[in-house]
Amino acid sequence: MKAEQVFATWVEVDLNTLKNNLKIIEQHTNTPILAVVKANGYGHGYLPITKAAEEAGVTWFGVARPRMAVKMREEGIQANILILGYLAPERIEEMICLDVSLTIWTLEHIQQTISAAKNCQVPARVHLLADSGMGRLGCMPGETTKLAEIASASEWIKLEGFFSHLATADEQDPGQTQQQVKIFNQLIDELSQKNLLPEIIHLANSAGSLAHSSTHFNLIRPGIIIYGLPPSSEVQIPEGIQPVLSWKSVLASIKDLPPHHGVSYGHQYVTTKQELIGVIPIGYADGYRRVPGNEVLINGHRAPVVGKVCMDQCMVLLEGIPDPHVGDEVILIGKQGDQEISAEQVAKIWQTINYEVTCGIGSRVPRIYPE
Ligand SMILES: *Cc1c(COP(=O)(O)O)cnc(C)c1O
């Protein structure tokens, strides 16, 4: 059955495009990939994304929350999984028992990890995170070697990775990134001199992967780019990389409103003449933002959203749309005919970044995976 006969709004995810993007990134960087699938795979649906990436040869996945790691293991995903940041202390044992790798950056983490690993009767797989300039999670550079020493001394910890995170790799000016690379390399030297250097070294996000080969080391951690979206307008993306996601709906109603008729809550929009107004069954409860300036595609033409976006629907002006019918496909993000609305264009209207657009697509919007 066709999606438009079943759903009011839905997201279509093209897993072949994902696989192709991964292949291009691998060719471009010549470095193994840890695919970042946190936040439900940036809104794309993390289980199908993970399985498709695994089929494409990806052996590492990065998540933010333990719930995803649990589900991935339940679904039979055997690849390496790294929790990229904070893990509530009570969840450490569960993660170790599921063979999930943890990120640590304090002495307390090491102690908690050792006692949890003892309970599981298996050494914990651990990556040490240093703050080389992000000002977020991670130990300060000066603490790194000491922590590595303490962690390595325990038979309950397998220190398998060392990493850091870039703050400005998506900007034109490479200065700050070069500074972070320098600090990271110094830490690698220190660890290496003391024979403490773990096997897996990683620093690059998508922007680092694409724009700074000095950040590649032996594993890259791309997120946004595997979904075919640019990390910023300042990063050149390789040819052939395509967006994986489209967001669709249907025309639910068409009405010929008389002049001076208000539309939606507050009557922010009032018809000036007799106007054809369509209703789309998508609203802010689906993650479609309640801001002015939204646009959609209908029959290959752009139509402005008029009046306030409601919880479950919004209205569009159908002037200039050729032959609109109830049931016609509506594109919120994606292509129709020779027109396209990109996640970046939506982000601009919403005054945010493409990341927040796809992550914010509501959980009630079904994700479908056409063959
Ligand atoms: C989110 C995240 C990434 C991926 O970032 P992108 O900009 O989407 O490539 C990589 N590493 C860490 C630690 C992250 O939190």
Tell me, in angstroms, the distance from the centre of ligand 1 to residue 46's CA.
15
C-beta 219 within 6 A of ligand 1: no
The answer to whether 28 and 241 are in contact (CB under 8 A) is no
Contact residues for 11 (Cβ-Cβ < 8 A; gap 6+): 43, 44, 45, 245, 246, 247, 248, 361, 365, 366, 367, 368
The catalytic position among 19, 23, 38, 248 is: 38
Contact residues for 124 (Cβ-Cβ < 8 A; gap 6+): 92, 96, 102, 113, 114, 116, 117, 156, 157, 158
C-beta 205 within 6 A of ligand 1: yes
Active site residue 118: no
Strand-pair category, 275-280 with 314-317: antiparallel
Active site residue 38: yes
Report the nearest atom of ligand 1 relative to the CA of 205. 9
Tell me, in angstroms, the distance from the centre of ligand 1 to residue 207's CA.
9
* Block residue for tokens 């292509």: 335
* Block residue for tokens 């493409």: 354
* Tens digit of pLDDT at every position of the chain (371 positions): 788 789 999 999 999 999 999 999 999 999 999 999 999 999 999 999 999 999 999 999 999 999 999 999 999 999 999 999 999 999 999 999 999 999 999 999 999 999 999 999 999 999 999 999 999 999 999 999 999 999 999 999 999 999 999 999 999 999 999 999 999 999 999 999 999 999 999 999 999 999 999 999 999 999 999 999 999 999 999 999 999 999 999 999 999 999 999 999 999 999 999 999 999 999 999 999 999 999 999 999 999 999 999 999 999 999 999 999 999 999 999 999 999 999 999 999 999 999 999 999 999 999 999 98
pTM for the whole structure = 0.97
pLDDT recorded at residue 259: 98
Sheet holding 34-36, edge to edge: 34-36, 60-63, 80-83
Tell me, in angstroms, the distance from the centre of ligand 1 to residue 302's CA.
33
Q: Between helices 107-120 and 144-153, what is the axis angle to 10°?
A: 20
Report the nearest atom of ligand 1 relative to the CA of 129. 13
pLDDT recorded at residue 4: 77
